[in-house]
Amino acid sequence: MDKLPKIALPAIFIIIVLIILISKSAVTIGSGEAGVLYKTFGGGVVTDKPPMGEGFHIVAPWNTVFVYEVRQQEVFEKMQALSSNGLEIKLDASIWFEPIREDLGKLHQEKGKDYLSRVLLPAVTSAARSVVGRYTPEQLYSSKRDAIQHEIFEETKEIVGKQYIQLNSVLVRDVQLPPTIKEAIERKLKQEQESLEYEFRLVTAQKEADKVRIEAQGKADANKILSASLTDKILQDKGIDATLKLAESQNAKVVVVGSGDSGLPLILGN
């Protein structure tokens, strides 16, 4: 009985040490994540092997695993830039990105887990200022938003592509101008729209007038041709045909031969 505590204490101590070692050695990587292994006695960050995938892993207790999200992520950024004429423009943008999985070790070694603030956001801001500086406020507000969005994406992609980051999209959600400039642009756009509507009404009225004129000219030409072709002989022949048709009718009538104009029969009905 006296020996039992002396045996139990070392055993308990060993169990506790084993539990600690197992807890330090066990790493669980969740869905959409990957792990970068840091070997304390083996050269530091492992960059020559793929990162650790999802699931349960056992590593040496003296090593460390840094877990990164490798799914597409989104960050919102508010930026300020100057237009081509020196006016301050505010942009609200949404950036879609993800770390390049195969280069996760190099990303951790060179940039660290705060690569978003160290690399991506400065690159987007720099590209936005460069692009906005090529346009006037009116272009940014109306017709060129898709263009600046595409140019910001391309310039940012060129920068971060060498920094182990995959840029998927840059969406310009809002362009904010100084209030006085915005009001002036809106007034101008309204005037241009009204001018276009007026021009459209003029063109429509002109087309309608041309249509009426063409129809009237066609009728006039037809009457002219008809008048030129109706000689006395033709009229007399048509009158004879009409007289014959009337004579054949079953209705009661009196025919006085040679009493009408041009010697045509005169037909008296009921």
The residue-averaged pLDDT of 231-259 equals 61
| pLDDT tens digits for range 138-169 | 787 776 778 889 999 999 999 898 899 999 99
Question: What's the domain count of the chain?
Answer: 4
* Residue 208: C-alpha distances to residues 34, 80, 199, 217 (Å): 71, 52, 14, 14
Does residue 65 contact residue 35 with C-beta atoms inside 8 Å? yes
Residue 199, domain member (yes or no):
yes
Last residue within a domain, chosen from 30, 50, 69? 69
Residue 62, domain member (yes or no):
yes
135 and 196 share one domain: no
Residue 13, domain member (yes or no):
no
141 and 197 share one domain: no
Residue 4, domain member (yes or no):
no
- Cα angle 82, 86, 88 (rounded to 5 degrees) comes to 45
pLDDT surpassing 80 at residue 189: no
**What is the spatial distance between Cα 120 and Cα 212, in angstroms, rounded to a whole number?**
66
| Structure tokens belonging to residue 137 | 């406020």
Residue 160, domain member (yes or no):
yes
Residue 43, domain member (yes or no):
yes
Last residue within a domain, chosen from 157, 177, 197? 177
**What is the spatial distance between Cα 112 and Cα 122, in angstroms, rounded to a whole number?**
15
Residue 248, domain member (yes or no):
yes
78 and 172 share one domain: yes
123 and 39 share one domain: no
State the pLDDT at residue 247: 65
94 and 166 share one domain: yes
Last residue within a domain, chosen from 36, 69, 102? 69
pLDDT surpassing 60 at residue 255: no
223 and 238 share one domain: no
Domain that holds residue 200: 179-229
236 and 246 share one domain: yes
More confident residue, 20 or 148: 148
Q: What is the dihedral of CA 183, 171, 111, 165, to 10 degrees?
A: -150
State the pLDDT at residue 144: 75
Residue 12, domain member (yes or no):
no
- Assessment of whether the complete model's pTM goes beyond 0.75: no
With a CB cutoff of 8 Å and minimum separation 6, the contacts of 201 are none
More confident residue, 38 or 185: 38
pLDDT surpassing 70 at residue 235: no
Domain with 95 in it: what CATH number?
Answer: 3.30.479.30
The residue-averaged pLDDT of 109-132 equals 93
215 and 263 share one domain: no
156 and 166 share one domain: yes
100 and 166 share one domain: yes
Instruction: Quickly state the pLDDT bin for 182 (edges 50, 70, 90).
Output: low
